[in-house]
């Protein structure tokens, strides 16, 4: 069958780009590890593609907006008193906001400058480590948290990230900025054209996302607001904006912010060419990372074997690579319906490395235990060959510490691997490598960082993010947690996910919207007949109920496919550990 290109207007025309299914990964659930990595490589390459659809990353208008926003950053950095740069978003977008704000504050502090970055994540710091989807639907909460973060500030550059141009939380913040333009310069980052922004009405709110995005666009003509929304193509796993969305956000923001730093502190004016150069370097990072497809595929395979054996995958990272690991692991729960123990991340020095606003959260429970010491105390005693352990480090960390921990872990499992980054020519000592079963080493050419040495750390982070996204996504795909390229076992915990779930049911059953919504609600409320109250309650209430429920979409799907009761659909699904097999068998029954 011919692969249809998502850029054609007839390709899934009712969905915005970020929700479309990517033709590259249509058969990802039947691919082997190497093919999976190759598909992800192609999907991620679309970030840098000169698409014919909408804006693309290298388009002059996009690059010019990056220049304009970088100049705003420069102005703020030169006048840091009473000024602030706030990065905000929900889920992965908020985690990227956190990572950038904390690491750029560190950079400022190391150069004796005032720290002027701050972040907001819907759901607060808990959402850095666990999925908190409900606050995403609350525009007032977004606006209030922004207002609180800016008390006493006279100039605020606000960067709101919503990959799908969809999160009401961010819409509320942008609306607040637009009503207070004497203080705020708002910037919207996302990956859909404005005409594809979400139009679903927001509860107790006079605007929807698209209306705010249009106002932002209008204000851009007066240089009072900016919209950065290049099309980077659909996600490898449909709607999973943790992947390309997160990476593209990181690339755009690091380009903007570090260009602003160079201009403010090194007298290097922000130019179109400088920005193009920076984007080119990120494209090289993509090429270098995926040049090791075979080695990466081997790690995907190892991780899948562990999950299949009911073992675990543990990322043990140093410095920000540890945080990248924690973020990747935390996203597997809502994306694949994974258990929180399945893939976990740990960072050297725990919360003091995180440097998050609310401090040490470990008292909140086992989901919030993140230090290497915690790993030694709570995980190590039960570690076995069924578990895969992956160390993440660079040549800039204390290698004695890495080697000491590797020696301890090896006493429990030989299934120990490493992903490391070093400057070309400065190689990791051989004896270090002998501690691991496999080592995936990235040698970074000096041409990449000569221009802006500060970017090296950012490159290493992005490269690690791509590797870990491939490992966790690939492993879950291999154990059958997706159907084609859909995350079918998603939790329906906010309005966007509720709509996505209904769309998936329509896509695979051919039933009407109303039949699919009814089936979904029956599963959510666990009733064969919906009461009037259940049918008429708003989506928010449904998503509150959904917070406690797993396997909702697969059960509804089996019900729609085979006209079974809820109980029958559940017991049918219990016979299958692989969702694809269950759905396929169910379709054969027809
Ligand atoms: O609601 C879940 C989710 O889709 C996360 O996976 C994602 O990181 C978050 O929403 C934010 O999405 P967006 O950046 O499109 O607002």
Tens-binned pLDDT, residue by residue, of the chain (590 aa): 445 688 888 999 999 999 999 999 999 999 999 999 999 999 999 999 987 777 899 999 999 999 999 999 999 999 999 999 999 999 999 999 999 999 999 999 999 999 999 999 999 999 999 988 889 999 999 999 999 999 999 999 999 999 999 999 999 999 999 999 999 999 999 999 999 999 999 988 999 999 999 999 999 999 999 999 999 999 999 999 999 999 999 999 999 999 999 999 999 999 999 999 999 999 999 999 999 999 999 999 999 999 999 999 999 999 999 999 999 999 998 888 888 899 999 999 999 999 999 999 999 999 999 999 999 999 999 999 999 999 999 988 999 999 999 999 999 999 999 999 998 766 666 778 889 999 999 999 988 877 777 788 999 999 999 999 999 999 999 998 898 999 988 889 899 999 999 999 999 999 999 999 999 999 999 999 999 999 989 898 899 888 878 889 999 999 998 888 999 999 888 888 777 777 777 766 65
In this predicted structure, what is the pLDDT of residue 584?
74
In this predicted structure, what is the pLDDT of residue 129?
95
Closest C-alpha to ligand 1, atom 5: 91
In this predicted structure, what is the pLDDT of residue 324?
97
This complex has an ipTM of: 0.97
CB 131 within 8 A of CB 332: no
Measured in Å, residue 462 CA sits from the centre of ligand 1 at 19
Measured in Å, residue 119 CA sits from the centre of ligand 1 at 16
Q: How many Å apart are CA 321 and CA 80, to the nearest integer?
A: 29
In this predicted structure, what is the pLDDT of residue 339?
85
Closest C-alpha to ligand 1, atom 13: 162
Identify each DSSP E strand in 38-161 by its residue range: 83-89, 117-121, 155-161
What spatial distance separates the first Cα and last Cα of the chain, rounded to whole Å?
A: 23
Measured in Å, residue 89 CA sits from the centre of ligand 1 at 8
Q: Which atom of ligand 1 is nearest to the CA of 497?
A: 1
Token couple for 32: 């082997």
In this predicted structure, what is the pLDDT of residue 46?
96
Q: Which atom of ligand 1 is nearest to the CA of 170?
A: 16
Measured in Å, residue 551 CA sits from the centre of ligand 1 at 20
Mutate to test the pocket of ligand 1, among 136, 245, 546 (most ligand atoms within 8 A of CB): 136
Token couple for 69: 């926003």
Measured in Å, residue 353 CA sits from the centre of ligand 1 at 25
Nearest alpha carbon to residue 101 among 82, 71, 121: 121
Q: How many Å apart are CA 582 and CA 15, to the nearest integer?
A: 26
- 3-state SS, residue 357: coil
Mutate to test the pocket of ligand 1, among 496, 504, 539 (most ligand atoms within 8 A of CB): 496
Mutate to test the pocket of ligand 1, among 19, 88, 90, 235 (most ligand atoms within 8 A of CB): 90
Task: Quote the longest CA-to-CA distance of the chain.
Answer: 70
Is pTM beyond 0.90 here?
yes
Which protein residues touch ligand 1 with a CB less than 6 Å away? 89-93, 133, 136, 161-164, 166-167, 241-242, 245, 494, 496-497
Measured in Å, residue 544 CA sits from the centre of ligand 1 at 17
Measured in Å, residue 283 CA sits from the centre of ligand 1 at 24
In this predicted structure, what is the pLDDT of residue 590?
55
Mutate to test the pocket of ligand 1, among 91, 99, 543 (most ligand atoms within 8 A of CB): 91
Nearest alpha carbon to residue 145 among 122, 161, 127, 125: 122
In this predicted structure, what is the pLDDT of residue 298?
98
Nearest alpha carbon to residue 517 among 495, 540, 501: 501
- The DSSP result for 91-120, as a single string, is THHHHHHHHHHHHHHHHHHHTT----EEEE
Measured in Å, residue 147 CA sits from the centre of ligand 1 at 22
Q: How many Å apart are CA 371 and CA 385, to the nearest integer?
A: 22
In which element (H, E) is residue 33 found?
A: helix 33-45
Nearest alpha carbon to residue 132 among 94, 170, 88: 94
Q: How many Å apart are CA 127 and CA 326, to the nearest integer?
A: 12
Measured in Å, residue 164 CA sits from the centre of ligand 1 at 8
Q: How many Å apart are CA 288 and CA 296, to the nearest integer?
A: 12
In this predicted structure, what is the pLDDT of residue 260?
97
Angle of helix 455-478 relative to helix 293-308, nearest 10 degrees, comes to: 50
In this predicted structure, what is the pLDDT of residue 428?
60
Instruction: Tell me the C-alpha to C-alpha distance, in Å, between residue 456 and each of 10, 50, 98, 390, 438.
Output: 41, 25, 19, 22, 24
């Amino acid at each position: 069958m011919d692969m249809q290109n998502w850029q054609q207007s007839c390709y899934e025309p009712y969905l915005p780009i970020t929700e479309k299914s990517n033709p590259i990964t249509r058969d990802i659930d039947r691919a082997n590890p190497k093919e999976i990595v190759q598909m992800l490589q192609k999907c991620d390459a679309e970030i840098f593609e000169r698409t014919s659809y909408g804006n693309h990353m290298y388009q002059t208008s996009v690059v010019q907006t990056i220049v304009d926003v970088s100049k705003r950053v420069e102005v703020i950095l030169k006048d840091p008193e009473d000024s602030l740069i706030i990065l905000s978003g929900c889920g992965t977008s908020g985690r990227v906001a956190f990572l950038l704000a904390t690491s750029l504050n560190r950079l400022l502090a190391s150069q004796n400058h005032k720290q002027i970055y701050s972040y907001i994540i819907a759901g607060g710091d808990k959402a850095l480590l666990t999925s908190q989807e409900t606050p995403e639907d609350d525009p007032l909460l977004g606006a209030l948290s922004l207002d609180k973060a800016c008390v006493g500030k006279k100039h605020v550059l606000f960067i709101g990230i919503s990959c799908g141009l969809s999160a009401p939380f961010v819409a509320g913040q942008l609306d607040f900025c637009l009503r207070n333009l004497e203080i705020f310069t708002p910037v919207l980052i996302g990956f859909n054209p404005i005409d594809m922004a979400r139009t679903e009405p927001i509860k107790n709110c006079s605007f929807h996302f698209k209306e705010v995005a249009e106002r932002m666009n209008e204000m851009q003509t007066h240089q009072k607001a900016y919209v950065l929304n290049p099309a980077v193509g659909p996600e490898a796993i449909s709607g999973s904006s943790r992947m390309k969305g997160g990476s593209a956000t990181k690339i755009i923001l690091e380009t903007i912010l570090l260009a602003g730093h160079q201009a403010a502190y090194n007298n290097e004016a922000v130019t179109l060419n400088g920005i193009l150069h920076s984007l080119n370097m990120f494209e090289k990072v993509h090429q270098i990372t995926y040049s090791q497809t075979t080695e990466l595929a081997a790690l995907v395979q190892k991780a899948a074997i562990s999950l299949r054996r009911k073992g675990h995958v543990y990322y043990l990272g140093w410095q920000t690579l540890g945080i990248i690991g924690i973020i990747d692991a935390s996203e597997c729960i809502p994306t694949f319906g994974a258990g929180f123990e399945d893939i976990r991340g740990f960072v050297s020095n725990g919360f003091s490395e995180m440097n998050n606003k609310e401090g040490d959260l470990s008292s909140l429970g086992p989901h919030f235990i993140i230090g290497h010491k915690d790993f030694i105390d709570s995980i190590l005693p039960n570690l076995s060959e069924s578990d895969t352990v992956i160390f993440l480090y660079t040549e800039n960390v204390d290698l004695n510490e890495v080697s000491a921990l590797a020696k301890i872990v090896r006493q429990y499992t030989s299934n120990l691997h490493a992903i490391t980054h070093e400057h070309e020519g400065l190689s990791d000592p051989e004896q270090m490598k002998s501690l691991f079963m496999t080592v995936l080493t990235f040698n970074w050419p000096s041409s990449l960082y000569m221009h802006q040495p500060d970017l090296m750390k950012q490159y290493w982070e992005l490269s690690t993010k791509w590797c870990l996204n491939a490992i966790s996504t690939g492993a879950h795909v291999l154990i059958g947690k997706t159907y084609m390229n859909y995350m079918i076992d998603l939790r329906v915990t906010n309005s966007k996910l509720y709509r996505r779930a209904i769309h998936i049911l329509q896509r695979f059953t051919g039933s009407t919207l109303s039949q699919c919504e009814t089936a979904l609600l029956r599963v959510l409320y666990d009733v064969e007949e919906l009461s009037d109250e259940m049918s008429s309650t708003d989506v928010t209430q449904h998503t509150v109920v959904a917070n406690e429920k797993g396997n909702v979409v697969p059960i509804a799907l089996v019900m729609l496919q085979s006209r079974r009761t809820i109980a029958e659909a559940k017991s049918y699904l219990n016979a299958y550990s692989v969702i694809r097999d269950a759905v396929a068998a169910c379709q054969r029954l027809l």
